[in-house]
Structure 1
Amino acid sequence: MSSPRSNISYTVPGMSIEDSMKIISLLQMRLHALNDLHLTLKHIHWNVVGPHFIAVHEMLDPQVEQVRSMTDDLAERISTLGGEPSGTPGALVDARTWSDYSIRRADAIEHLGALDLVYTSVIMDHREAMQATETSDPVTQDMLIDQLRGLELFQWFVRAHLESKSGTLSTRGATTESGAAAQAADQARSLPSRLQ
């Protein structure tokens, strides 16, 4: 995990340097996660194929743009707290605790199955950061809450493609991107036979 500079000389009024450094560290990891997410979304946008190509291709670009905007908000908050945001690819790769997105060219439903797991991980970590800032920095918490609203909405868009009419997700129980992709594809293949 990347750590903030230990020599920040100022922060926002009413906050200790120590609290600011903790929040900067949390926000830096959220910045890495969202930089990774917007690149992953663009990767899927370029590599999605199949009968639902255009729907998924066009659904992802607004998500990319909003996630990029979220990264800007995170970086600016880090700077406001006296920190130095790091947005280089090398820093992201060095600091991340997750693996690179594993699905390459694939059917839309496979990418959406894998993307559901990506969103779950990002949202869970964002929620932890939101809870960690509740007392020490409600301004940062408010920003994270607003970002969660968008991230959760995007995951709902993805899950709408993966949900059966009974409300069951095809990715339920999957623990890997490839497993989620395979489960989503299996459910999609079985739909026509169930309708006949």
Structure 2
Amino acid sequence: MATRQDIHYTTPGLSREQAERVIGLLQSRLHAMNDLHLTLKHVHWNVVGPHFIAVHEMIDPQVDAVRGFADDLAERIATLGGSPKGTPGSIVEERTWDDYSLGRAGTQEHLGALDLVYRGVVGSYRDGIAELDDLDLVTQDMFIGQTEQLELFHWFIRAHLEDQGGRLSTAGAKDEQDAARAAGRA
């Protein structure tokens, strides 16, 4: 979780305490977006198999968009008087999730693992949206816009994991390895 930081000013209409909490929410999403764009690039480099080119080419636009989300989040932190942290050490120290666990693997295995990654990212954004309802509607609007795009990317991933009846091969998976195995068997 993001540590408290000293702010020297904030935007009109927000108290110092509100700004500190909003900055904390923004910082946790900044860490998540920096981690996600690196994870997506890792998948891009390590995916193999019969559907390689489709997945390889699907991932890069997601990487670009997520990098843009990180920049927007960092700039909002600065706007509110905070200092965005984007160093690898701060991500590792403050994140609440484990590092991505797959290396070179087939398309379905990576997509299965990414399903769980996106579930976590989208869920944390939605938690932030709910909390921001009483804190800062401007930041909430940013979270909503980014969530809409992340949900779309998640759908792109999940479309590869569904059968014609709508059953998801990763249903019930507890971790990335479990999701990867389930997707690989389907």
TM-score (ref. length: structure 1): 0.94
Residue 165 in 1 paired to residue 164 in 2? yes
CA contact (8 A) 1:4 1:84 kept: no
Gaps of 5+ in 2: none
Percent pairwise identity: 60
Q: Secondary structure at the match of 1:171?
A: coil
Q: Which residue of 1 aligns with 2:121?
A: 122
Kindly provide the CA deviation profile for residues 23-70 of structure 1, in whole angstroms up to 9, marking residues without a partner as x.
101110110011000000000000000000000000000000000000
Output the amino acid matched with 2:168.
L
How far off is 1:130 after superposition? 1.0
In the alignment, the residues of structure 2 paired with residue 154 and residue 20 of structure 1 have an alpha-carbon distance, to the nearest angstrom, of 30
TM-score (ref. length: structure 2): 0.99
How far off is 1:174 after superposition? 0.1
Output the amino acid matched with 1:24.
I
Q: Which has the larger radius of gyration?
A: 1
Kindly provide the CA deviation profile for residues 1-43 of structure 1, in whole angstroms up to 9, marking residues without a partner as x.
222313x121001110110000101110110011000000000
In the alignment, the residues of structure 1 paired with residue 62 and residue 157 of structure 2 have an alpha-carbon distance, to the nearest angstrom, of 11
In the alignment, the residues of structure 2 paired with residue 150 and residue 2 of structure 1 have an alpha-carbon distance, to the nearest angstrom, of 24
Output the amino acid matched with 2:135.
S
Q: Which residue of 2 aligns with 1:111?
A: 110
In the alignment, the residues of structure 2 paired with residue 88 and residue 42 of structure 1 have an alpha-carbon distance, to the nearest angstrom, of 17
Residue 4 in 1 paired to residue 16 in 2? no
Kindly provide the CA deviation profile for residues 114-135 of structure 1, in whole angstroms up to 9, marking residues without a partner as x.
0000000000001111111112
CA contact (8 A) 1:4 1:83 kept: no
Output the amino acid matched with 1:13.
P
Q: Which residue of 2 aligns with 1:24?
A: 23
How far off is 1:110 after superposition? 0.3
Residue 183 in 1 paired to residue 182 in 2? yes
Gaps of 5+ in 1: 188-196
Equivalent runs, 1:1-196 vs 2, <5 Å: 1-6=1-6, 8-187=7-186
In the alignment, the residues of structure 1 paired with residue 69 and residue 106 of structure 2 have an alpha-carbon distance, to the nearest angstrom, of 28
